[in-house]
Amino acid sequence: MAYSTSPEKKATRGRFRNGSANGSSRRVACLLTAASGIAFFVTLSQGGARANDEKQVVHIQLPASKQARASQLSELGALDVLGIDTSHGIVDVRASGSEISFLAARGFDLSFAPPNSMGTLAFDIQQYLTPEKLAERLATLASQHPELVRVWSIGKTHEGRDILAAEVTSRTGDSARKPAALFNAMHHARELMTTEVAVDIIETLVAEYDTNQETRRLLEDFRVVVVPQVNPDGNARVHSSSRYWRKNTWNDGGRVVGVDLNRNYPALWNACQGSSGDKGSDSYRGPQPASEPETQAMMALVRSVKPLVNISYHAYGELIIHPFGCRTEKNPAQALFTAVGARMKAELVSDEGRKGSYELGAAPDVIYPADGTDVDWQWKEEGVVSFAIEVGSSRQGFQPDYARWRNTAVTNQRGGWKALLAAMVDGTVVVQTTSPLSPVEATVRSVVESGEHAPFDADHATKRFPIRPAQNGFAFFLPAGTHEITFRDAMGQEETQVVTTH
């Protein structure tokens, strides 16, 4: 399908030449560096947060060459990227006049986005879940299905709203000793469809518990934890006054500036020009790592629940993204992420109705560098096999028509999250210690066929995992192969076991 499907959706033929563009006259300071491609920072002169009317949506037509495309995408990490259409090589960026001038001067192929097209706000959003509607929906699920659903607050936002989580599991056995999967959505406030997907996970599992034997077995042995709105303050702002709002509502000296929560995690924070230090930027990373209450709440939840796997939902682009967001950070567990990602890819349905068309890879390879993300932090620091999924394509556009797209979007995602849960069930091993050891952590070292040890993590030859209690031991989700697992207690005593996974 061609990118523009009707005359009214064709881009306005307003091309930029030699860096000339109308718009803001603020100065741009550019730092060009030679890494693998050219990266840049865009820094506005004094002035703080930009007003919405200073920006406009432009299409970027990427070059056909894969290498040239990757080079251009690497330059977009600090800009406000709304979405990407990988099949047609088009990126939607919301940019100020000075940013447009810079992109044009760098040789980007730009055109204005017309009204009511990809990247613009053509539809009413009242039917989407606000924080208040979400609280009501979750409360109803918990009251109607107390045997399966538990709802609680994992923390408070700047404006005092609860960040709600729901756990879905049968109440058979000790739920706290069941291995967990985690799903979260709406780190970015304007990505409204992501909350719909997260709530659908809860509702689908509840509906299938009595009718689907695989779902019943899953919920008897595992628990599924869902955070449908990581950023309720930002979402409220989207609904009340600022449809493009992306960040939370951190207040800086009496003015709402906001922090991009998915650039605020400690792992690789400010590591590779995949965020901005400018408070006015939509990808502003915050004054320091984990500065925001929403980030802190998610980190505390991960450390409490100790999930084996995670999906963080975003919109849009039809992408499956795995660690790491910085090209310089290598992931020796690539085979595990590729294998699990391939299972999800095979089951996710595109907006065109096709399976297998989502693009899979690390952020720098499929979109642009991103540092300080939850996916990177969860894997690097907590050993969670974690992915980000960009829901939907340019056919939906940005904040799509609810009546037309909501049910299609959530249905298209079901195969993906079910595939992740199936991979977790298939790949989880439960290991018992033979000595009366009370371990506080475990390290895993993979063994290759030659008997030599292979690196498992970018930092060390061994990968540290938190202790995840299971009904009859401790749970691990590992790549296929042979692994040495060393348990360690608080006194430093150790026990090592060798396990083989398939």
Question: What pLDDT is recorded for position 41?
Answer: 33
- Residue 60's identity, in one-letter code, is I
Residue 10 sits at φ, ψ, to 5 deg, of: -75, 145
Question: Which CATH code fits 131-427?
Answer: 3.40.630.10
Whole-angstrom Cα distance, residue 83 to residue 89?
A: 11
Specify the pLDDT at position 452: 62
Q: Output the tens digit of pLDDT for each of the chain's 502 residues.
A: 322 322 233 333 333 333 333 333 222 222 222 222 323 333 332 233 333 346 888 889 988 887 788 788 888 877 788 888 877 788 888 888 888 888 989 889 998 765 434 445 557 899 999 999 999 999 999 999 999 999 999 999 999 999 999 999 998 778 889 999 999 999 999 999 999 999 999 999 999 999 999 999 999 999 999 999 999 999 999 999 899 899 999 999 999 999 999 999 999 999 999 999 999 999 999 999 999 999 999 999 999 999 999 999 999 999 999 999 999 998 888 889 999 999 999 999 999 999 999 999 999 988 889 999 999 999 999 999 999 999 998 788 778 899 999 999 999 999 999 999 999 999 999 999 888 889 999 988 887 665 566 666 655 667 888 999 898 899 999 888 888 999 999 999 999 999 988 7
Structure tokens of 104?
A: 């044009």
87 vs 35: CA distance, rounded Å: 26
> Where in the chain is CATH 3.40.630.10?
131-427
How much is the pTM? Answer: 0.85
Cis before 324? omega within 30: yes
Distance CA 297, CA 188 (A): 15
**Confidence at residue 76, expressed as pLDDT on a 0 to 100 scale:** 81
